[in-house]
Structure 1
């Protein structure tokens, strides 16, 4: 079988209605698959005014706002309309990207028809619960996710650190890596603009600590704020630049009244803002892959990050950034202080991060997904021959 023989039905909980790293990766993947001659049909909740135009054919599935996070939607049902569309499309592989109810039903639909099913992991959903004081539900959530992922022929993790967690949790035996690439034409050190900084009132010699991402509590906003407060207590000169927006922005602004809040930025505006900072502070532990971390490295910015699945495969501790235990506020402040007092260290670590980012080629990375599809199809065909199911 060739890539051009693939007919992929992709189920996503959020394909384009909210801007985040996961759906940008999925859209880029679909673009790559189409360029290889594959046929793709995407099934996802939709809204009247999405964050960006979708890549490929998008079929809307019924959904409702998530109560605690109404900007996101919960897929409700694999309706007869969607089933008819699936039947007409005749996929030979199903790709699910979130462990929701509709994806569960889609896997059942595929298994009943002896169609291969593959899952990609984008977020460690089980870690979200602690931010909403629901950590007592984590064992239940993991059990549901385990049942979901074990029904797939293969699952794809974005980094080996995430794959190791999935193996330890017994999610599936067939776990491969689908990493994330970087648009080096967009994210690079040449985007740095001192004039842009000056327009914001930032002096050339001030160290700018950036936050990049949606301003939601599960991104570690409390740890970020506490680390900055500790830096202030030490009287270490710095400025804070927050790039992104979200429901917790008012709380974040209250915690960091002297910070510059840019709101959401995309495209070249985002690249300029990130490259014009001096260090990225990313304390999140909910990521399966730190897209924002890779973007900072591509801009030759060192990264101070929580030592967790989102960063440990990207940041080389002591070479391109500094990894810190997730709740070690003084450790985060120590790392930021080291960069504030040593511009040469920032430059050296930034250069190392840039060298790493230049190896992350999107086409090579997305080709691994095609190989996983083909292997899953072959596995499902062998199983059907052996067992008749």
Structure 2
């Protein structure tokens, strides 16, 4: 099939949505499809390039002020460009990953040329609200959900990564059918390799001590301050917290670690290239994710595929990956003492780590990326047949 994926965020942008869009595009191309992605230019000017078997139509972009690592495509000219692109390509399906500048223009263009639309939602206003004054949270969220509904109501098939994410859409007024389809994970590349964590810690230049790991953006909604404040509550005195990723809150987190007296035990790895990520997970004893705005969490899936127990916030979709007491622990958001106790329980018991890690791996296998790619192929064929029948 010829597939056009529309996304306002794509690597090198750092977000779960961009990583999913990239893996979907490359995975589909690897299965023999003609895949095109329309996304923001990573350098600014518009260009067309090929990467990993995918044709990238990168549109003129500027930096997004609230997320300097993400680029934004200004709306002027985008609708006309998408109309021309869809008219020229005549894809079998348009698959949008969001309802912003590129996504909404792609949906409109697809409807104009009678091309079926699949829409996947990775958005919730909670990712934006921490950057706004509190009195604006409710009105901004209402506007955001109304805007989302206006675009996604026009899709032929809507997906989102988890049942919790689908329920969230329904709770915010979206009355269409929504299918949960996991983002998926490469369970071959992300897997335990049998080597002790210390081997990988030494490769990364980290001390060989018990290690709590977080992978992702260092931004407000991730609530990483709770992890730092929980560290002194862990009885394993030499435990270290490793934070892999970049974001707007790094300097603030460094200052907090100093105030809590744990600066020497908090390691900032910065941006980690994708090919080094498996080794980062294998260097850890437990993965922790205290954020409350996760519609699935690709990083958590990768950690689980590497057989790590997980301590996660009991919020949104994380309970779909973490079964309390089985492959990890769920902690109420804001419960720093509970977070420290959960980490302590895992770090002080090798048997618990092995049992929980094995269950994490088993759960991750049910999210293997080949299942995700196969399901989207089925969805594409179904909507294409339906549109042909109506035509």
Work out whether the TM-score is over 0.5. yes
Residues 159, 253 of structure 1: CA spacing in aligned structure 2 closer, same or farther, 3 A cutoff? same
Alpha-carbon distance change, 298 to 63 in structure 1, aligned in 2, over 3 angstroms: same
Change in 2 beyond 3 A, CA 1:255/1:55: farther
Cα deviation, residue 189, structure 1? 2.1
Q: How many residues align?
A: 374
What TM-score do the two structures reach when normalised by structure 1? Answer: 0.87
For structure 2, list consecutive stretches of 5 or more residues without a partner in the other structure.
258-262
Secondary structure class of the residue paired with 1:209: strand
Shift in Å, 1:186: 2.4
Q: 1:24 aligns with which of 12, 19, 23?
A: 19
Higher alpha-carbon deviation: 275-284 or 254-263 = 254-263
Using the TM superposition, give the Cα deviation of residue 23 of structure 1 relative to its aligned residue in structure 2, in angstroms: 2.3
In the TM superposition, residue 320 of structure 1 has moved relative to its aligned partner by: 0.3
Q: Structure 1 CA distance, aligned partners of 2:17 and 2:7?
A: 10
- With 19-28 and 325-334 compared, the bigger mean Cα shift is at 19-28
Q: Distance in 2 between matches of 1:60 and 1:195?
A: 40
Q: Does 1:40 align with 2:26?
A: no
Q: CA deviation at 1:347?
A: 1.8
| Residue 72 (structure 1) shift | 1.2
Q: Which of 181, 185, 207 is matched with 1:202 structurally?
A: 207
Partners of 1:153 and 1:297 in 2: CA distance: 33
- Conserved in 2, the CA contact under 8 Å of 1:283 and 1:306? yes
For the aligned residue pairs, the C-alpha RMSD in angstroms reads 2.5
Question: 2:3 corresponds to which residue?
Answer: 8
3-state SS of 1:273 partner:
helix
Q: CA deviation at 1:192?
A: 4.3
Q: Is 1:158–1:177's contact at 8 Å kept on the other side of the alignment? A: yes
Residue of 318, 334, 351 corresponding to 2:358: 351
Judged with a 3 Å threshold, the aligned counterparts in structure 2 of structure 1 residues 294 and 102 are, in CA distance, closer, same or farther, namely closer
Distance 2:200 2:114 in 1: 56
Cα distance in 2 for residues equivalent to 1:281 and 1:219 = 11
Change in Cα spacing, 1:372 to 1:125, as seen in structure 2 (3 Å) is: farther
Alpha-carbon distance in 1 for matches of 2:324, 2:53: 36
Structure 2 length as normaliser, TM-score? Answer: 0.87
| Alignment partners' CA distance in 1, 2:147 and 2:137 | 15
Say whether 1:165 aligns with 2:168.
Answer: yes
How far does residue 322 in structure 1 lie from its aligned partner after superposition? 0.6
